[in-house]
Amino acid sequence: MRKLELQAIAARRFRPLTTDSRESVTPSPNLLLDAENVAQKPGEVIVGDITYLPMRSGKWSYLASWQDKFTRRIVGWAVEERMTEDLIIKAFERALGSSSVCANTIVHTDRGSQYVSKNFRALLEANECRQSMSRRANCWDNAQAESLFSRYKAELLEDGMFEDTAQARSESFSYIEGYYNRVRRHSSLGYKSPAEFEREWHINTKKKESSSERVVSGKT
């Protein structure tokens, strides 16, 4: 790279931030503190957050994402001009549509007001999901979701900005669906992409189940 005068794009030093909802609303407990709730397979835990996207006009748009904690795959996302409950609900409905959320899935976020809204909590209840939230003033409880945005901004924005919300949505689609989920390798996944890691997990799981069935059949 030195010979070709190339320089790698590096994310800025990761510094997680905390968000607290209105004190009048009771937050959900942090279910991820229980060792039994550590994700061991796809769909057990998804983590979510919201980040600001700079526009050339000087205004902002907002990206909400839901990421599978086990596979690192972004299972739902949305980009809108306003940071409301509709933003996270739209992203969550996309996760539901991809069959990445099921009954008993733990949905973990910070304490942002969008996540304690009646409509979002009703959506979780309707789909039999369990809500989990970071502890008060503990920035590391949702570090995985915030780390995702650090990579997104380093690799896509590169300290730049979007022309408008439509471009932000289009570029986010290309980055998330075309690159991050399918191509980008993660050291935590054995240098596989989230899609590749998840696909191999399902194949290996089916092989183990078939092997167990043959053993049981042989004994009977």
Q: Measuring CA to CA, how many Å separate 140 from each of 26, 117, 146, 176?
A: 20, 23, 9, 24
For residue 6, being part of any structural domain is answered with no
Number of domains in the chain: 1
For residue 175, being part of any structural domain is answered with yes
For residue 122, being part of any structural domain is answered with yes
For residue 64, being part of any structural domain is answered with yes
For residue 17, being part of any structural domain is answered with no
The tens place of each residue's pLDDT in the chain, 220 residues long, gives 888 887 766 555 544 444 555 556 889 999 999 867 788 999 999 999 999 999 999 999 999 999 999 999 999 999 999 999 999 999 999 999 998 999 999 999 999 999 999 999 999 999 999 999 999 878 788 999 999 999 999 999 988 999 999 999 999 999 999 999 999 999 999 999 999 999 999 999 999 888 776 666 665 4
Helices (H), the chain: 85-97, 118-126, 143-152, 165-173, 194-219
Q: What is the pTM of this model?
A: 0.86
According to the model, what pLDDT value does residue 11 have?
54
CATH number for the domain that contains residue 129: 3.30.420.10
Per the structure, the complete domain to which residue 70 belongs is given by 31-202
For residue 18, being part of any structural domain is answered with no
